[in-house]
Structure 1
Amino acid sequence: MTDEVGQDLVLDAARALRGDLEQVVGSPEPHSDAVELDRRLAALLAVANTGSDVKEELHDLLLSDTKTRGWYLGFLSHGMPPDLVLTRESGPPGSGEPVSVPKFCCPGGDMTWYRRSVGQNAPRCSIHDLALDPC
C-alpha cells in the first residue's frame, strides 16, 4: 500500500496526528502510549526534515496501533483528520461547497493542527514551543 501513498501525504498524516494525539490515543500521561508515540513520531519527522525518506517507517508506525490505524486510514482517504470529513460534507442543503477548515503548522515542520471551532486557540508545538502558523 505504501507504494500507492505519497511521502507528503504520510508526512501530513504524521504531523496532523501529533496535533490530534490526545483525542486519538488518550491523555499524555508520563510513560503512556501517547507519550511514546509522540516521541517516535517526533524522531521520524526530525529525520524527514533532513530530507531522508521515512515514509515506510511512519506508515508502519501509524498502522501498528488499533487507535491510530483507523484515524490514519481515514486521513489517507480524505487528506485530513477523519473527524473533519463529516464537518466538511455535512450542513444545510445548498450548492455543496466544501467548508474550509483552518490549518496551523509548526514552523519547524513537526506538527499540524486543524481548528475545529472558532473558539479554539492553536496550541504551541510540543517540540519547539513555537506558536503554530496558519498554513
Structure 2
Amino acid sequence: MAGSANALQAAIFSRLTGDTTLTGMIGAGAVFDRRITGRAMPYVVLSEVATSDFGPDAEEHLVTIEAWSDAEGRKQAQEIAARVKVLLDGTALSLAGFVLVNLMHRSTRARREPKTRAHVAQMVFRALTEV
C-alpha cells in the first residue's frame, strides 16, 4: 500500500488549495510540499508524512502540516492553522485507489523560528487508510 500516503497527500493538497477562505488568507499558489526559502509568507507546507502498518490492509499516517507567517506575533500563523483544522479534521476525503477511514487533528504547536521573524504553527493529523 505504498501509494496510500501519496494519495492522502494529494487529497489534502486538493482540499487546501480548493478552499477560497484559505486562499484569501495565504494567497493563490501558497500550499507546498516543502518550505520555499525566499518566498513571501504566509504559506502552508505539507511537511511530513510518517506511515506505519495498521493491519494487513490498512496504514496509519501522521501528517505534519505547517502554517508559516512573518507577520508580527503568532496570530496569523495560528489563524491559518485554525482554518486548516476546520478543512481537515473529521473530513471524508476521496483518495485515488484507497479509502480514508478517518482523519483527525491531534495537535497544534506554535513557535517562532530562531534567528528569524518567522512564526510557524505546526499541526499533526492522524489518518487511517485502507485498500
- The normalised TM-score by structure 2 is 0.28
> Which protein is richer in strand relative to its size?
2
